[in-house]
Structure 1
Amino acid sequence: MFQVTSPYGKNLHHMENVTVGEFAFTTQESGNYMACFTADTKSHGNKNVSISVDWKTGIAAKDWKNIAKKEKIEGVELEIRKLEASVEAIHENLVYIRNKEADMRTVSEKTNSRVAWFSTMSMGICIAVSGIQVVYLKQYFQKKKLI
């Protein structure tokens, strides 16, 4: 059995009794996609099962031969289209990385401010408890007439 599931649990592809095959899909949502392969022990018994996966993403997944046939382009123009797609993919990745970095910076700054606030609060509590202990011990020793 072969099954592909989206990050939100939607079943994208499901095949039973598969021995050989090809499958492609275009993602609509970002995240981790899960591909599950299950070998049926009834039909395979104790045999070794080998699985070979060629998982392509981005521009590597495009079928440039079909694009060239469809749009009737060849040679230099096809290479230019490939380069253009590569540059576009790199740009999208850089924008994604920049946005992720901004999000991480925000989280880091919030965490740092919380740590600073907690440290200040802890120091204040320690000073207050020390003051209370000094007052209590002073009163205790005065009652016992040691001071």
Structure 2
Amino acid sequence: MVHRARLWLLAALPLQCTGLFFELKAKSAGPAECFKATPGHGHSLHGSYEADGPNEGVLVTLTSGSGKELFRNANPSGRFSIEVMEELPHRLCFESSVEESQMVSFNFHVDEHGDGTDHHDKEHMEYVTKEHTDKVEELVAKLEAKANDILDQQQYAITREAVHRETAESTNARVMWWTLAEVAVLISLAAFQVSYLRSHFEVKQIV
């Protein structure tokens, strides 16, 4: 069976990079699954998600601490990048739009830019200009984004494999029980026919 975890403790986890997956219940089974995170002012929230199941349908919303909707998407997969303007808890909610459970892979990254990494003395500043550092920071950000995308795709592939394996195991189990039931019915019919023919010949022999 696939290991499933409720992610209510997301706010207590380090927000630098969080990659998880969970089971999203059917639309009629309950309310949306929501997670809270409190990034600092000026940080950026980057995330992506992907739903996987027999029928896929999910509504994803990201809301600021003041109740402003920052992101909304009804596609089975998507990504977002939001600049944080309020140092308040942000809520990311997943709501099913189908009547079947589905697995949702979810990756969440916080870009803590502006944390004061440009500490250079005068000697360094003679050789390294602000333009150069900006280019380096931009290159590092692009490399980090590509690395995160690769990690996201790996997580999604693992989740899809787990869901498909569980579906295959469930299908094989149903086929096995159905085959056993057919064998039992055939044995019962054969026994009934033998018993019937035996009693029929016994009656003829007596007559």
Aligned equivalent of 2:61: 6
Query: Rg larger in 1 or in 2?
Result: 1
Aligned equivalent of 1:89: 145
Deviation at 1:84, TM superposition (A): 0.8
Query: For 2:93 and 2:188, how far apart are their aligned partners in 1?
Result: 54
Deviations 1:37-87 (A, max 9, x none): xxxxxxxxxxxxxxxxxxxxx9xxx9xxxx7xxx6x642321221111111
Q: Return the structure number with greater helix share.
A: 1
The answer to whether structure 1 residue 122 and structure 2 residue 178 are counterparts is: yes
> Secondary structure at 1:144's aligned position in 2?
helix
Aligned equivalent of 2:132: 76
Query: For 1:144 and 1:7, how far apart are their aligned partners in 2?
Result: 77
| Counterpart pick for 2:198 among 138, 142, 145 | 142
Q: What TM-score do you get using the length of structure 2 for normalisation?
A: 0.38
Aligned equivalent of 1:101: 157
Identity %, equivalent residues: 9
What 5-or-longer segments of structure 2 have no aligned partner? 1-59, 70-81, 95-108, 119-128
Q: How does 1:53-68 map to 2 (within 5 A)?
A: none
> Aligned residue pairs: how many?
101
Contact 1:7 1:30 in 2 (8 A): yes
Query: For 1:116 and 1:123, how far apart are their aligned partners in 2?
Result: 10
Query: For 1:105 and 1:25, how far apart are their aligned partners in 2?
Result: 33
The structure, 1 or 2, with the larger RCO (C-alpha pairs under 8 Å, 6+ apart) is 2
What 5-or-longer segments of structure 1 have no aligned partner? 15-23, 33-57
| Counterpart pick for 1:131 among 187, 190, 204 | 187
Give 2:147's aligned amino acid.
H
Contact 2:62 2:92 in 1 (8 A): yes
> Secondary structure at 2:67's aligned position in 1?
strand
Q: Return the structure number with greater strand share.
A: 2
Q: How does 1:45-56 map to 2 (within 5 A)?
A: none
> Secondary structure at 2:138's aligned position in 1?
helix
> Secondary structure at 2:68's aligned position in 1?
strand
Deviation larger for 76-85 or 125-134: 76-85
Deviation at 1:117, TM superposition (A): 1.8
Deviation at 1:114, TM superposition (A): 1.7
Q: What TM-score do you get using the length of structure 1 for normalisation?
A: 0.50
